[in-house]
Amino acid sequence: MALKYSARLQIAFLALNLILSCTQQHASASDDTSLAASSRKKVDEEEDEIGYIQSLIVNTPAVASVESSYQEIEVYDSDHFGKVFVLDDCLQLTERDAPHYNEMLAHVPVMEYLGRRSSTTSSGTNDDKLKVLVVGGGDGYVVSELLKHPQIESIDHVELDEEVINVSKEHLPWGDAWKDEKVNLIIGDGAAYVKQQADKGESYHVIVQDASDPFWIDEDGGVTTLPSSVLYDTSHFESLYKLLRPKEGVLIFQAETYNIPSNLESIRKWRGLLGDIGFGNPRYGSISISTYPTGQIGFFAAHARDDGGGGEKVCEASDACVGDGGVVVEEMVAWW
């Protein structure tokens, strides 16, 4: 009887030791979790207008943190999205999905220009080298993508904040773009530079405007006008039009998301404005990108009007057609 009691007691002690061991392991794991949590932070993207918020978890401390004359510039590492570029706590791009946006802004206008040029020359070829203007886009990704086109002879890149350039050079994988001899970097006001060049009678084959949001809707419904709003003024678009090479020049610019009412209203306004100024065939293109609010952002592509009648016909929706010049032209996206 004593032997049976002793065996039961041993089993009880073993069970107790097992419970204590599991408790200690759980406590250790909780401590590790707390430690991991303390070395991370959330970068939030809020859209009060539609009651929307999304977060991206980044590792801390920041890889780079610089306070320029215009804004706070930060670069973080993240486990899934790679490098994360942040201005004034607003996410600008991540290494993983930055190609979704930047490749479109770089390659769409160049390919459209080459297609239009081919359709308006009798031989279908032209040895002219392209001159490109990039306004904004201080992270350098658009410039790096444009350099992939051998037809491009020169790129004038205008960026207001030199510190954005410096941080991007040091911490982003495409930071060597400015070292290319084709790139002419101008530190200054983009709107002022565009007006100055237009007044001088300069012209570009392709213009890319990679600007940040022009306004913000506050929590109380008020509108906060942001510094980049000057890049969306009527006078600025008029100067951009003057800068485009006649008949063939192509403009593309960041044009917000259609998922937010105020943005959608701006999209409609900009499309009408482009047509009123004289741009031909202004079209809104949609980009799916997971780290931008609502997972979508857009751009406008438009070109200098061909008053001589280039024979081009643009089709509705996704239908393709062939114009008199022999080039197939497809509508990229829905019309707004």
Question: Would you say 206 and 130 are in contact if contact means Cβ atoms under 8 Å apart?
Answer: yes
**Residue 210 annotated among the catalytic residues of the structure:** yes
| Catalytic residue of the set 210, 276, 306, 319 | 210
- The residues carrying an active-site annotation are 210
